[in-house]
C-alpha cells in the first residue's frame, strides 16, 4: 500500500468513525510497512495501539483488504526508538495516598457552552427529575447524593444539564474548583500523564477538585487502566465529601465491560434518567428556540402549525430538532419568505425522511457481529464455516427487511458477494425463523435493538 492509498483510506475511515474518533485515534496512525500479509502501522504509545486494535482493528482491516486482498492482519506498533524508552513504573498507576494538594490553577477544564444554562433548559415530564436533581446539586449545599448519575439517550440534554450545573456553581461560589470533562478527556490526560511520567501531578490535580463532572462515562468501558485510575479518583473525592456528577448513555448496571466495583460505586448516589422526549416537551423546546431566533431574525414570520408539525415529525432527539429549526430560519431569512408548512417540508425533506428511522447496513452488521460475538471482518469476510455463515445470513436477512437496499447492493456490502448468495441467505433465514425458535428470538432481539 502506498502512502497515497493510506491517505485515501483514512478519508473513508473518517466517514465511518466520525470526526472526533478520527482525530483521536486514526489520524495519529502512520503506515509503516506491509509484509507477508500484515500491514503494520506505527502508533505513539502502546496504549493507543491496544485501543485502536481493539476498537478499530476490524474496520481498518476491512478497508485495507478492499485495496489489498492479501492482507490478513493489521498490526499496531510503537516505533522502536520510542519503545526502548522505559515504561512508566507500574506503581505509578496504583493508588497512592495523595497528599492534600494545593489547588492547581493549571487544571484544564473543558470549555463550557454559554447556551447550556438552566434558563435555556425546557422542563417537561421526561426530564423533570433529572432537572430537579441537577438544580439541587447546583445550589451548592452540603453533598446529599454522591455521585449524581444522569443517564439517557443521545441528545436528550445530559451535557446541557452538566454545563448548567457548572455555570451556576461557579457563579454562586467563584472560588470553587469545578472541573467538567468528558470521560475521553479524562483518559487522554491519564495517558499523557503516564507517558510524561507525571502521574503524581495527575493524581494531586484531580484530588484537589471540589466538584468533578465526567461526561459520557460509558467511554471508559473496556479500558482497564483508565477505569482503575477513575476508580481511585472517584473514591478519593467521595471520601473527601466532594461532589461528583457523572453522565452516561445508559444505566450504570448496563454498561458492559465496566468493572463491577465501579458499577456499584456509581449506583451508590442518585441515579436519574432522562426519558425520550414527548410531544409537549418537543413543542416547548421549539417555542423557546423560536423566541431566541426572533431576536436574531426580527420580522421573520412563522405560519401556524409549523412548530406542531416539527414536534410531531422529528422525534429522534433534541439535537436534530434544533438543527432543523436553525436550518429553517437561516433558509427563510435568506429568501425572505414567511416560514410556511410547504417551505418547511421542502427545506427539511432530508431530515424528515431520515427521522422515519433508517437503519443502515453497517449498523446491522455491527449489531449482528456483536450479538453473535464474532468479528466484523469475519461476518463480512470469505469464511464459510457455520459460526460465521449463519450470522452473516441473519445480517443479510435483516438488511433486506429493514433497509431499502437491493440484493446486489447488499451483496456488495458483504464482501462483494453475488445477489444470488444474498437471496439464498434471506430464504434460508425465512425458513429457519419458523422452525428454529432460537433464530426467531435472535431476530426479534436484533430487530428491537436496531429499531431503538
Ligand atoms: P446529550 O449530552 O444528552 O447527548 P445535549 O445536552 O448535548 O445531549 O443536548 C443536545 C442539544 O439539545 C443541545 O443543544 C441542548 O441544548 C438541547 N436540549 C436538550 N434538551 C433540552 C431541553 N430540555 N431544553 C432545551 N434544550 C435542550
Ligand atoms: Mg453529551
Q: Give residue-wise pLDDT tens across range 273-321.
A: 999 898 899 999 999 999 888 888 888 889 988 999 899 888 878 999 9
Give the CA count within 13 Å in the CB-facing half-sphere of 433: 14
- Tens digit of each residue's pLDDT (9 = 90 or more) over 50-108: 778 878 888 888 888 888 888 888 888 877 654 434 333 333 232 233 333 343 434 55
Q: Give the integer Cα–Cα distance in Å for 330 and 377.
A: 43
3-state secondary structure of 444: helix
Burial class (CB in 10 A: 0-12, 13-18, 19+), 21: middle
Burial class (CB in 10 A: 0-12, 13-18, 19+), 452: exposed
Rounded to the nearest angstrom, the distance between the alpha carbon of 129 and the centre of ligand 2 is: 18
Rounded to the nearest angstrom, the distance between the alpha carbon of 155 and the centre of ligand 1 is: 5
CA-nearest of 164, 182, 169, 179 to 116 is: 164
Q: Which residue has the cell 486482498?
A: 69
Q: Give the integer Cα–Cα distance in Å for 255 and 249.
A: 9
Main-chain phi, psi angles of 8, to 5 degrees: -70, -40
pLDDT at 108: 53
pLDDT at 53: 82
pLDDT at 97: 35
For a mutational test of ligand 1's pocket, the pick from 155, 248, 310, 322, i.e. the residue with the most ligand atoms closer than 8 A to its C-beta, is 155
Question: Which residue has a Cα nearest atom 19 of ligand 1?
Answer: 157
In 178-232, beta strands by DSSP E: 178-182, 211-215
CA-nearest of 171, 136, 167 to 243 is: 136
Question: Which residue has a Cα nearest atom 5 of ligand 1?
Answer: 157
Q: Which residue has the cell 482503575?
A: 228
**Atom nearest to 120 CA in ligand 1:** 25
**Atom nearest to 123 CA in ligand 1:** 23
CA torsion 332-338-342-348 (nearest 10°) is 20
Q: Give the integer Cα–Cα distance in Å for 14 and 23.
A: 9
For a mutational test of ligand 1's pocket, the pick from 319, 320, 323, 325, i.e. the residue with the most ligand atoms closer than 8 A to its C-beta, is 319
For a mutational test of ligand 1's pocket, the pick from 184, 318, 320, i.e. the residue with the most ligand atoms closer than 8 A to its C-beta, is 318
Rounded to the nearest angstrom, the distance between the alpha carbon of 249 and the centre of ligand 2 is: 9
Mean pLDDT of the chain: 86
CA-nearest of 174, 193, 273, 282 to 233 is: 193
pLDDT at 47: 67
pLDDT at 93: 30
Rounded to the nearest angstrom, the distance between the alpha carbon of 428 and the centre of ligand 1 is: 44
pLDDT at 423: 94
Alpha helices, DSSP H, located in 27-153: 46-67, 80-83, 128-138
Could you tell me which residues are beta bridge partners of residue 212? Answer: 179, 244
Question: Residue 26 carries which DSSP code?
Answer: I
Rounded to the nearest angstrom, the distance between the alpha carbon of 203 and the centre of ligand 2 is: 25
Rounded to the nearest angstrom, the distance between the alpha carbon of 421 and the centre of ligand 1 is: 44
Q: Is the peptide bond before 186 cis (omega within 30 degrees of 0)?
A: no
Which residues line the pocket of ligand 1, CB cutoff 6 A?
Answer: 116, 120-122, 127, 152, 154-160, 285, 318-319, 322
Q: Give the integer Cα–Cα distance in Å for 396 and 413.
A: 10
Q: Which residue has the cell 465496566?
A: 258
To 5 degrees, how large is the angle CA 414–CA 417–CA 420?
120
Residues of the chain with pLDDT under 70: 47, 80-109, 355-358, 452
Rounded to the nearest angstrom, the distance between the alpha carbon of 105 and the centre of ligand 1 is: 30
pLDDT at 86: 39
**Atom nearest to 157 CA in ligand 1:** 6
CB 77 within 8 A of CB 43: yes
Grid cell in block for residue 221: 468501558
Amino acid at each position: 500500500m502506498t502512502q497515497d492509498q493510506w491517505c485515501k483510506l483514512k478519508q473513508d475511515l473518517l466517514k465511518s468513525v466520525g470526526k472526533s474518533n478520527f482525530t483521536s485515534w486514526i489520524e495519529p496512525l502512520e503506515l509503516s510497512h506491509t509484509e507477508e500479509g500484515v500491514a503494520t502501522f506505527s502508533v505513539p504509545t502502546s496504549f493507543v495501539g491496544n485501543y485502536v486494535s481493539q476498537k478499530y482493528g476490524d474496520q481498518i482491516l476491512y478497508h485495507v483488504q478492499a485495496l489489498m486482498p492479501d492482507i490478513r492482519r493489521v498490526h499496531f506498533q510503537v516505533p522502536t526508538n520510542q519503545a526502548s524508552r522505559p515504561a512508566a513504573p507500574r506503581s505509578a498507576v496504583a493508588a497512592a495516598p495523595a497528599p492534600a494538594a494545593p489547588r492547581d490553577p493549571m487544571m484544564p477544564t473543558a470549555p463550557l457552552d454559554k447556551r447550556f444554562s438552566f434558563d435555556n433548559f425546557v422542563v417537561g415530564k421526561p426530564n423533570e427529575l433529572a432537572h430537579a436533581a441537577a438544580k439541587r446539586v447546583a445550589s451548592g449545599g452540603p453533598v446529599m447524593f454522591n455521585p449524581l448519575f444522569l443517564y439517557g439517550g443521545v441528545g436528550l440534554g445530559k451535557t446541557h444539564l452538566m454545563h448548567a450545573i457548572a455555570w451556576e456553581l461557579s457563579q454562586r461560589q467563584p472560588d470553587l474548583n469545578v472541573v467538567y470533562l468528558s470521560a475521553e478527556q479524562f483518559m487522554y490526560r491519564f495517558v499523557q500523564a503516564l507517558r510524561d511520567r507525571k502521574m503524581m501531578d495527575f493524581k494531586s490535580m484531580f484530588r484537589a477538585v471540589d466538584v468533578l463532572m465526567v461526561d459520557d462515562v460509558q467511554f471508559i468501558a473496556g479500558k482497564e487502566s483508565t477505569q482503575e485510575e477513575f476508580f481511585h479518583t472517584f473514591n478519593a473525592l467521595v471520601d473527601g465529601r466532594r461532589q461528583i456528577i457523572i453522565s452516561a448513555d445508559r444505566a450504570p448496571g448496563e454498561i458492559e465491560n465496566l468493572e463491577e466495583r465501579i458499577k456499584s460505586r456509581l449506583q451508590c448516589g442518585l441515579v436519574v434518567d432522562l426519558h425520550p422526549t414527548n410531544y409537549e416537551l418537543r413543542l416547548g423546546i421549539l417555542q423557546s428556540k423560536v423566541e431566541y431566533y426572533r431576536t436574531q431574525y426580527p420580522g421573520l414570520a412563522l405560519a401556524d402549525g409549523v412548530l406542531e408539525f416539527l414536534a410531531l415529525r422529528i422525534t429522534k432527539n433534541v439535537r436534530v430538532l434544533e438543527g432543523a429549526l436553525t436550518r429553517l430560519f437561516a433558509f427563510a431569512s435568506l429568501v425572505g419568505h414567511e416560514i410556511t408548512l410547504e417551505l418547511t417540508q421542502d427545506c427539511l425533506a432530508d431530515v424528515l425522511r431520515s427521522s422515519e428511522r433508517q437503519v443502515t447496513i453497517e449498523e446491522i452488521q455491527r449489531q449482528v457481529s456483536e450479538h453473535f460475538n464474532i468479528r466484523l471482518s469475519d461476518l463480512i469476510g470469505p469464511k464459510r464455516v457455520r459460526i460465521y455463515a449463519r450470522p452473516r445470513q441473519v445480517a443479510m436477512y435483516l438488511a433486506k427487511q429493514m433497509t431499502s437496499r437491493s440484493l446486489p447492493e447488499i451483496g456488495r456490502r458483504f464482501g462483494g458477494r453475488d445477489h444470488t448468495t444474498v437471496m439464498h441467505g434471506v430464504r434460508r433465514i425465512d425458513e429457519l425463523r419458523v422452525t428454529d425458535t432460537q433464530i426467531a428470538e435472535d431476530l426479534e432481539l436484533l430487530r428491537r435493538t436496531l429499531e431503538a
